[in-house]
Each structure stands twice: as C-alpha cells, then as structure tokens.
Amino acid sequence: MESSDNFDLGLIFNSKIIKINASLYYGKQNNVLATVFDPRVNANYAQNAGKITVKGAEFESYMEFTKGLVFFLNPSYNYVAYDNDIEMRQGTPATKTIIPIGGKQSPATPKIMVKTGLMYSYKELNANIFLNHIGERFGDALNNERVTDYTLFDSSFTYKPSFNNTAFKNMTLGIEMKNITNRKYVGIINTNDESQGNSASYLTGFPRTIVGTIGFNF
C-alpha cells in the first residue's frame, strides 16, 4: 500500500500593507505503483515498488500600494523524482534493462510556477490582471522530451450597476479574458511517472477566450 511522510515549515506575516505566507516542504512517497520487473514470475507489471522524493517551496505575497490596489506575487518551486532507477525486461529475447530515471524530474510536473498580477476595486468595480508562468516540463521519465515553458496573460472585470428599487438592483456585469496574447502552448500532458519516450499524449492549451456574463442575485 502506498504511504507518504511529509514535513512542512511555514511562515505567516500580516501587516496593513503586506501579507506573506511562505512554506518549505519535504516528503517521501513509499510503495508507489510502478511498472518494474519481477524475477519471481519473469515479467514486467505494476507493483508497489517505487520511492519518490518531493520537495519545494511556495511563497505568497500581497502588497496594497494604495487603497483598493493590490499587487501579488506567488512563485513556487516543486521537485518530484524517483529516488532510484528501475529495472525492466525489454526486447526479443527479453533482456535486463535499467531505466535511469532516478533523480530526474517527474513527467508533466514543472519545477517553476509563478502567478502575479494586480487586483483593483473601487466602489462597484473590480478589475484584475494576471500573469501565469508555467516552467519547462517533460513528457517522459528520462527527461528527453522537453516541453517549453509558457506565460499567459488573463484579466477579468466585474461591475454592479446602481439600479435601486428596480428589478435590476442585484445585477452584476462581468467580462473575463483568457490568454489575451493568444499564446500557443501545450496544456495537459497525459503520461505516468515512469513513462519512456513516445508514450505521452499532449493537449493544446486554450486559445484566446473572451466570456461575458450577466448575473442576478434573487
């Protein structure tokens, strides 16, 4: 059965202008399901035989420069990797093969992510603009299939008009824009932790998308 041991160290700081929430974490995942060779039956199959190390840091900060205007910066670092290489039997006739995945970043998992932007509110108006950066990822456990990093710009606006004593007094208008620059990027990577080359599937990320909303609270 898979199990894990996790350790976290956090720091929280709040003042009128700045709010900070930072943490360091370290974890060991034991008996992770992985496809490895079993000499008892002379076959490769999924077994609870893997060990994975997880470590990283997260940092959240919010700074209110002036009333209603908040800047935030939330970077993170995440390392996920098998502790050791794995053994399999491959080819015809089947021969012993060591898959050197020990210490290599787990597929589809970026080490670096950053979210930053501005949030503004004034009376019935709320406006936000965000930058989301996803670092380099890999499509295989050997880290040969590199998927380049990407940065997206998003924004949203909401406004609640003043229609007192009318049927529209609780109406909210909104508009949301995703991927403003229409960046072409790989969104989802479908793979597993010990996958080798040419086994992953890649899904294209969403193009520029603009959605308008009208809401009512009854």
| Spatial distance between the Cα atoms of 196 and 113, rounded to a whole number of angstroms | 24
State the average pLDDT over residues 175-190: 96
State the average pLDDT over residues 170-193: 92
The radius of gyration computed from the CA coordinates of the chain, to the nearest angstrom, equals: 24
Q: Could you tell me the pTM of the whole model?
A: 0.85
Q: How far is CA 86 from CA 41, 59, 104, in A?
A: 17, 34, 12
SS3 for 136? coil
- 14-24 confidence digits (pLDDT tens): 998 999 999 99
- 183-196 confidence digits (pLDDT tens): 999 999 998 777 77
- 39-76 confidence digits (pLDDT tens): 777 777 777 777 899 999 999 999 998 889 999 999 99
- φ, ψ (nearest 5 deg) of residue 123: 55, -115
Residue among 162, 175, 188, 183 nearest 107 (CA):
188
State the average pLDDT over residues 136-147: 93
